[in-house]
Each structure stands twice: as structure tokens, then as C-alpha cells.
Structure 1
Amino acid sequence: MSETGVITIRTERLVLRMPDIDDFAAYAGIMASPRSIGMGGPFDLRAAWGMFCHDIALWRLFGHGALMIDLAETGECVGQVGINHGPLFPEKELGWFVYEGHEGKGYATEAAFALRGWAFETLKLPSLVSYMAPGNAASVAVAERLGAHLDPVAPRTDPADLVYRHLAY
């Protein structure tokens, strides 16, 4: 994180940036939709707000958190990538989602690869995990494209979750 507490990561097609209040409406929308089932949802507005604030507070508490995924060419926000931690996460988790209509374009993989690289280099983490609901083929595919491997003995809060481990090389 920079001295100002703001981080931006750029890739070939994306800009990963700190969330701001203008991002909340789309975030609340995905959290209220059936697409959030794999994250424990759908969530009401109060829960979505708490999660959104958690994503931002993590930066102050742990030096990492969520970043919004913008298209570099247009500035359109297409999703979020983040490193989660705190009492709900047994280990630091690399997570991602993209908004409806932006799936299948490689944005989640590109963003997660960039944030994971930043985390390994800056935070000196030996590994990260990604938790996902069984049957979430899209997230499994992202984890596997990133080179993560299934870790059946990793701690998890939901015993049904699949856990993919990302190792720093």
C-alpha cells in the first residue's frame, strides 16, 4: 500500500483500484442476486453494506483488501478481486467476481493473477487460498488457470467449500 493508503495495479487490459461509494450499487446488486449463492447469499442491503465496508477496512487493518476491476480502455467497472482475512477466513483468501455480462473474458483470471503477484511480492505471503462452493465451475477454472491446486485438508469455515491453494514461487 502506498503512503496515502491507495493502491492501483495495472495490467494489459485492467486497472485494479480502491473501491469508492459509486461502486456500492452494483456491488449490492450482485450480492442480492442468485449469483451470490456461492458466497453465502443472497444478501440484503444491510449485509451487502457490511461486506462492502469490510472489503475496504481490510486495507487499514491488514494492508490488503478488495480492489475494483475496471477496463483500462473505458473505465467501466466489471467486478472485484480481493484478499480477504479476519475472523470469517481461516487463511488469507484470494477471491474474485465479475458482474453479469463480463464472464468468460478472462477478467477474473487477469485481475487475480495481478493481485496475487502483488500480495506475494509485497506482503511476502507463502500462500493464499481460494474458497468456492462445489459446482462453481467458473471459479474452479480461474483457480486452475492460476496454477492453484485443490487442498482437501485446508481449514475452512464451510465444510462443503472447495479450497484451492496458491503457492508463492
Structure 2
Amino acid sequence: MTALAIPTLETERLILRAPGPQDFGPFAAFYASPRADFVGGPLNAEGSWRMLAMEIGHWTLKGFGRWTVTAKGDDTAIGMVGLFEPEGWPEAEIGWDLFNGHEGKGYATEAGRAARSYAYDVLGWQTAISLVKPANTGSARVAARLGARHEGDFTHERHGFMQVWRHPAPGEIADGGMEAYA
């Protein structure tokens, strides 16, 4: 099997890079915490390892996935943001998880915008959603800051009831995209 080259994206404050084993510590700490309630946690170390393996494998299975987010100048993982469409999802999603202590700084919006630009400009997506648990008001605020609108609801077999937030189409975005992956 040939390894897939995962692109690196750069924003004003962040690097979005390939996830790897060096990310397991921060990843497992997040998934062990109550903050992971909205994304399938809390999980023990074994469950967190499987989740990280799924994130890496998603790139091979779909040709896209979620990046590990780091602050420029520090390669420590502060979150996972990117493109996600596992079996059972209604359609391709832009998703974000910021690890403990890194929320509230605008990182999810900044990284989400970069991921969406990559999906539209490089992969040619014409639409995208974000799935948000109703109680996850922080995630709903990120979706709204990205211009997404609550369009409807979806019930997943394992994750339960979620809101579907529809992102603006490529031609509706006023920010002009990004050149980080050029």
C-alpha cells in the first residue's frame, strides 16, 4: 500500500498537518474528557487510539480527512479540523474539535475556513455541512461564523440527534478563499 500524501495548510496563526502518533497524548487527553461528549467520547486510551487510527485511515479511504491543528511555532496538537464523511454520515462534513484549553481563541473558525477552502478550491466540492449536537453551542457559533445556516436535523445510529448546518456554496463566499495550499 502506498502512503497518501496529506497536504499541509497554513493560516495566519495555525498549521494544519497530517495526524500522526506524536498527537496521541493530546488526542487521548481530549477524548478522555467531558468535552468529548459531543464527538463520541469520553473514551479510554484504547478507544482514543482507535479514533486516531480512524482519523488517519479516513485519508486513505476517502482521499481527504481531518488535519491535526497546531499553533505556528509549536508542533503540539491543539485540535483536529477538516473534512469528514464516514459511513453513515448524510454527506461530506467540515468538522472541528479543539482540545482542552484551546477553545475560545477563534482557532476552530480559522482552521474551518482553511479546510472549507481546500474542499471547494482543491477538491471541487460544491457544498458541505457541519453536524452539531444541539447542546454544543460553541460549535454552533463556529458554524454560524463560517456562514453556515441550520438547515435541518439528522439522527445518527450511534451519535444520536444532530443539527445539520449548511455552509455557503463556493460562489457565495466573500472571503475569496485562501492560498495556503498553492
TM-score by length of 1: 0.90
Aligned partners of 1:89 and 1:156 also within 8 Å: no
Number of residue equivalences:
166
- 2:84 is aligned to 84
Tell me how far apart the structure 2 counterparts of residues 163 and 79 of structure 1 sit (CA, whole Å): 22
Per-residue deviation at 1:44?
Answer: 2.3
Superposed structure 1 runs of 4+ greater than 2 Å apart: 44-47, 73-77
In structure 2, the gaps of 5 or more residues are 171-182
In structure 1, the gaps of 5 or more residues are none
Structure 1 residue 32 and structure 2 residue 29: aligned?
A: no
Which amino acid in 2 is paired with 1:107?
A: Y
Identity of matched residues, %: 37
Per-residue deviation at 1:156?
Answer: 4.2
Q: Deviations over 1:77-127 (max 9, x none)?
A: 211102111213221111111111111110110001001100111111111
Per-residue deviation at 1:159?
Answer: 5.2
- 1:7 is aligned to 7
Matched residue of 1:53: which SS? helix
- 1:163 is aligned to 164
Tell me how far apart the structure 1 counterparts of residues 4 and 53 of structure 2 sit (CA, whole Å): 19
Matched residue of 2:114: which SS? helix
Aligned partners of 1:90 and 1:156 also within 8 Å: no
TM-score by length of 2: 0.84
Aligned partners of 1:148 and 1:165 also within 8 Å: yes
Per-residue deviation at 1:137?
Answer: 1.1
Tell me how far apart the structure 2 counterparts of residues 76 and 49 of structure 1 sit (CA, whole Å): 17
Tell me how far apart the structure 2 counterparts of residues 27 and 127 of structure 1 sit (CA, whole Å): 29
Matched residue of 1:100: which SS? coil
